[in-house]
Structure 1
Amino acid sequence: MVHLLNIKKLHFLHCGPISLQLKETEISGLSGASGSGKSRLLRALADLDDHSGDIILDDINQQSIDAHLWRQKIVLLSAETSWWFDTVGEHFSVYSESILRKQLVLLGFSDDCLHWSVARLSSGEKQRLGLLRLLQNQPDVLLLDEPTANLDRNNTELFEKFVIDYLHTRSACAIWISHDHDQLQRVCQNKYVLENGVLVDVD
């Protein structure tokens, strides 16, 4: 299935109107000064913050679907992830055991990490495992808010490849916030800056 995200005249806080279209397998990179509204943009797209305008995935308007169902289709990986259970493995209930173990290896983990206490995880480990947790329901759009800010070079490369492979397998798309312009150049097909409440195409 081909997935297309169409954002039309979106307004939130001091920002807007913002219009943007994302096609299958495409990553749109987003940068901008702190406080410019980048994270709030992703939260509006995930229907977590108040906003106006139309956000349409394929032929489904965000306004026509329950919020919890929308958030299964469009998922947000925040700069800091939240965890609810004591151990890592308790957060993974959808994957088959064999698929989960393969996915963990691709993100640089050994099998025994499923038995780890969440309290022992570093911020970088939480980000990689948080990504895998979000992908359990096979979402169509990934909203990534500085997802590799706490990762070293090797794990950043693993994370980038994992996301790109997922997008191509699922025919999904993504918006990736980063202050690392080299990273945006590597992974993104389109690049934008949020400036004075307006989305500026910098390609």
Structure 2
Amino acid sequence: MFEAPVISRAEAATNEARAPQMPLTVRGLCLELGGTPVLDDLDLDLGPAGCTMIMGPNGAGKSLLLKLLHGLMAPTGGMIDWAGRDTAEATKRQALVFQKPVLLRRSVAANIDFVLKARGKDRGKRDALLEHVGLSHKARQPARLLSGGEAQRLALARALASEPDVLFLDEPTASLDPASVLAIEGIVSEAKARGVRIIFVTHDMGQARRMADDVVFLHGGRVIEHSPANAFFPEPQTQAARDYLNGRIVV
């Protein structure tokens, strides 16, 4: 079974100290699709480090929020501010991994080469990245032949090849087997330890409990709760969050 590499506490502390300063401020964020509001007057403040889990029932607007924050969609109204950087500059410092990996119809290695070349990165990093995610032995294999877990690990390696300051993850372990889930979590946790800011959409309560530093709870297109994970799970402050955690809101 593939196991993600582990770094020492000393190295993790050093990397945290070097974490990029890219805090997020969102004010009055709105999005309409076909004239229907799907995100409504959303406010949010995220610090420059850690792992934020975005949770909520289906239709709450979680994936749409990620796309807005990453600049893939334009809001109908409101403000998204990454420490004063314009949208184009902020987006260059981010990467997004979807639930279903979107891979090039090329070899595993060529998927990494494409990103390294496009971002002007050292192409000599490819082999280290593939080793990091446990895919060195499949470097020459067509990416389309990978299993679901392997494909997601390649998607993560490709995202990390761009050396992002912020990594968005939209349910990257949905439908994967338990071993693959833990492998993905290990890679993401190490990225966080190295200073990458993680913003992660999940429906997996166990995963959120294992990984979250804080939780943003969306309901009806609004942020109705944002609190540290060690406070949110034992004692949510809203009835909607309590219902969600108790399985009384369909996810």
> Which has the bigger relative contact order, CA under 8 A and spacing at least 6?
1
Distance between the aligned counterparts of 2:122 and 2:93, measured in 1?
Answer: 20
Q: How does 1:20-169 map to 2 (within 5 A)?
A: 20-51=44-75, 52-62=77-87, 66=88, 69-93=89-113, 94=116, 99-109=125-135, 111-169=136-194
Output the amino acid matched with 2:102. S
Identity %: 26
- Whose Rg is larger? 2
2:199 is matched with 175
The CA distance in 1 between the partners of 2:149 and 2:186, in whole Å, is 16
| Unpaired runs of at least 5, structure 2 | 1-19, 33-37, 227-231, 233-251
The count of corresponding residues between Structure 1 and Structure 2 is 196
**Using the alignment, how far apart are the partners of 1:164 and 1:100 within structure 2?**
20
Q: TM-score with structure 2 length normalisation? A: 0.70
Once the two structures are superposed, what CA deviation does each residue of 1:12-48 show, in whole Å capped at 9, x if it has no partner?
1321222222223311111222222111111111111
TM normalised by structure 1 equals: 0.85
Q: Which residue of 2 aligns with 1:3?
A: 22
Q: Which amino acid aligns with 1:182?
A: G
Q: Which runs of 4+ in 1 moved over 6 A?
A: none
Query: Does the residue aligned with 1:115 lie in a helix, a strand or coil?
Result: coil
Contact 1:25 1:164 in 2 (8 A): no
Question: Could you tell me how far 1:178 is from its partner in structure 2?
Answer: 0.8
CA-based RMSD: 2.1
The alpha-carbon distance between structure 1 residues 99 and 50, as it changes in their structure 2 partners (threshold 3 A), is closer
